Structure 1
Amino acid sequence: MSLVIWADGRLVGQEEAALSAVDHGVTVGDGVFETCTVFDGQVFALTRHLQRLARSATGLGLAAPDEQKVRDGVAAVLDEAVRARGPFDGRLRITVTAGVGPLGSGRVPGAQTVVVAVQESAMAPTSRSVRSPWPRNERSAVAGLKTTSYAENVVALADAVAKGGDEAILANTVGDLCEGTGSNVFVERGGELVTPTLASGCLAGITRALLLEWGAEAGLPVREATDGELPFSVLDEVTRGEAQLVLTSSGRNVQPVTWLDGADVAVGDVSAAARELFEKLCRERLDP
């Protein structure tokens, strides 16, 4: 299925010009976005994604997007995609930019552009990950915000792909485990799944939060780390077979890592149980 795109109130073709050449999202990456999972033609956890979209916009100094306008765009692309393809699994992206602006960093107050796009896709069951040589800056002005300024992630992911992986794992500037370029990370140690706190600079992932909530509900030992509990060097334990690694995101759900920096690594028992739990509940609870 080709991309179905809605831009500021109308469906547009994949090759059709839909944004101004001086949209601030294009010229300086001034915008925010959400990527959502689609199950059987319906968006998973849309309310949580829209809440985070508003938080990211506010954190970037933009007005919170018009939620009804965004929901209208979501409905339009899903209706068109289902009409053409029938119920499908895929990914939906919502992008909100600061709209038409000057060539520099200044903004035009009140301007805003909204784009929604959807495409059929499938999730891989496991990941091949690589440690990134570049850190995440937990003190950045945009730390924890899901912005369209994604160049650091693009470079880090390209490096990982060149080394045989599909995700790059980043430390922060003080040497703690932080996140992937598009995922949160959990480490299985001592019979527990432990994830870095948001203070590490990682994104407040929707899948991360749901795994913490659903894991606690189901009695799985899943929790946030304490200060200093997950240094980046914990990945050495993973390659030695003393710990296991899991990625979470809307494009991965709960995805065990089976290869890290060239070494095959095992899937932990808690990791496997967490994946099974999430795969079950995400289709039962569409908007948790």
Structure 2
Amino acid sequence: MSMVVWVDGALVGPREKALSAVDHGVTVGDGVFETCAVYDGTAFALTRHLRRLARSAAGLGLDAPDEALVRDGVAQVLQAAGTDAGRLRITVTAGYGPLGSGREPGAQTVVVAASPAAPGATAKVARSPWVRNERSAVAGLKTTSYAENVVALADAASRGADEAILANTLGDLCEGTGSNVFVERAGELVTPRLDVGCLAGITRELLLEWALDEGLPVREAREGELPFSVLDDVAAGRAHLALAGSVRNIQPVVRLDDTDVEAGELSLRARELFDRRRAADVDP
């Protein structure tokens, strides 16, 4: 299997020209998306992902996506993909539009695609020279305007990393290009508050809930508790770092910039907890 793609009600070839050349998602990145892990032909936490898709659309000023249509697309794609699928992406754009930033009322474009995925058990990260704007109009929304992430991730990859870690404009630790971050120190796993500009990740959300259920010390940071400089403590071995995201789940970090670091004991326990709980409930 390479990739299975569905656009507006029909399966299409992955290289088939299936969108308008002036779709607003193409011309100005006017759209929202979700990525789910797929296990044994089923999308994980699909209901939560669709709920966030609707929140992102509302934040962008788009009509709520047609959930029944999206679920139909998901079903068709996963049936065609079989058990080889590991990643599912749902994209909803504003559809046909003018060449400028203004929108033209009309039907949205809906794309569902699946491909294999082989996430590692650990991660290598690099500090990004760019920052996340916590006051942006799209802060905390999962939009297709993703060029900042593409550039930051390419820079990290050029330095041997598989994720870039960003501060916000105030110097707070924020997030990765496609992940939330957790800092392990003093016997706790602590993740940045949402008001620093990071995405409200589904994996982040579930880990906070499940850790509370099982008495694992995982929590949201207090205001100002996690400056970007906390990564100096990680590099020095005084703290540890873990990533959380769809497909990657929980990944302890084993390299920061050019320094090998140890996976934290609590990060490893969080990875085990998440893997166990997600295996027990495919749509928590």
TM-score range (shorter-chain normalised) is over 0.9
Instruction: Select 1:283's aligned residue among 257, 279, 284.
Output: 279
In 2, Cα distance between equivalents of 1:128 and 1:220: 24
In 2, Cα distance between equivalents of 1:119 and 1:80: 11
2:193 maps to 1:197: yes
CA contact (8 A) 2:90 2:113 kept: yes
In 2, Cα distance between equivalents of 1:29 and 1:92: 20
Instruction: Please state whether the residue corresponding to 1:19 is helix, strand or coil.
Output: coil
Amino acid in the other structure paired with 2:50: L
* Mapping for residues 80-99 of structure 1, pairs under 5 Å: 80-82=80-82, 87-99=83-95
* Mapping for residues 18-167 of structure 1, pairs under 5 Å: 18-82=18-82, 87-167=83-163
In 1, Cα distance between equivalents of 2:158 and 2:2: 27
Task: Give unmatched runs, 5+ long, in structure 2.
Answer: none
In 2, Cα distance between equivalents of 1:79 and 1:162: 37
Q: Percent identity?
A: 71
1:117-153 deviation per Cα after TM superposition (whole angstroms, max 9, x unaligned)? 0011111111110000000000000000000000000
1:75-113 deviation per Cα after TM superposition (whole angstroms, max 9, x unaligned)? 00011111xxxx235000000000000000011123310
* Mapping for residues 151-230 of structure 1, pairs under 5 Å: 151-230=147-226
Runs of 4+ in 1 over 3 A off after TM superposition: none
In 2, Cα distance between equivalents of 1:286 and 1:111: 31
Amino acid in the other structure paired with 1:270: L
CA contact (8 A) 2:6 2:112 kept: yes
Normalising by the residue count of structure 1, what TM-score does the alignment of the two structures yield?
Answer: 0.98
Q: In the alignment, which residue of structure 1 is the partner of 2:269?
A: 273
Q: Tell which deviates more after alignment, 277-286 or 147-156.
A: 277-286
In 1, Cα distance between equivalents of 2:117 and 2:135: 34
In 2, Cα distance between equivalents of 1:287 and 1:214: 14
In 2, Cα distance between equivalents of 1:218 and 1:149: 37
Aligned length: 284
CA-CA distance at 1:59 after TM superposition? 0.2
Alignment root-mean-square deviation, CA = 0.7
Task: Give unmatched runs, 5+ long, in structure 1.
Answer: none
2:244 maps to 1:242: no
In 2, Cα distance between equivalents of 1:14 and 1:163: 30
CA-CA distance at 1:2 after TM superposition? 1.2
1:220-239 deviation per Cα after TM superposition (whole angstroms, max 9, x unaligned)? 00000001100000000000
In 2, Cα distance between equivalents of 1:122 and 1:286: 19
1:151-201 deviation per Cα after TM superposition (whole angstroms, max 9, x unaligned)? 000000000001110100000000000000000000001000000000010
CA contact (8 A) 1:89 1:122 kept: no
In 2, Cα distance between equivalents of 1:52 and 1:179: 18
Amino acid in the other structure paired with 1:5: V
In 2, Cα distance between equivalents of 1:148 and 1:255: 24
In 2, Cα distance between equivalents of 1:125 and 1:155: 24
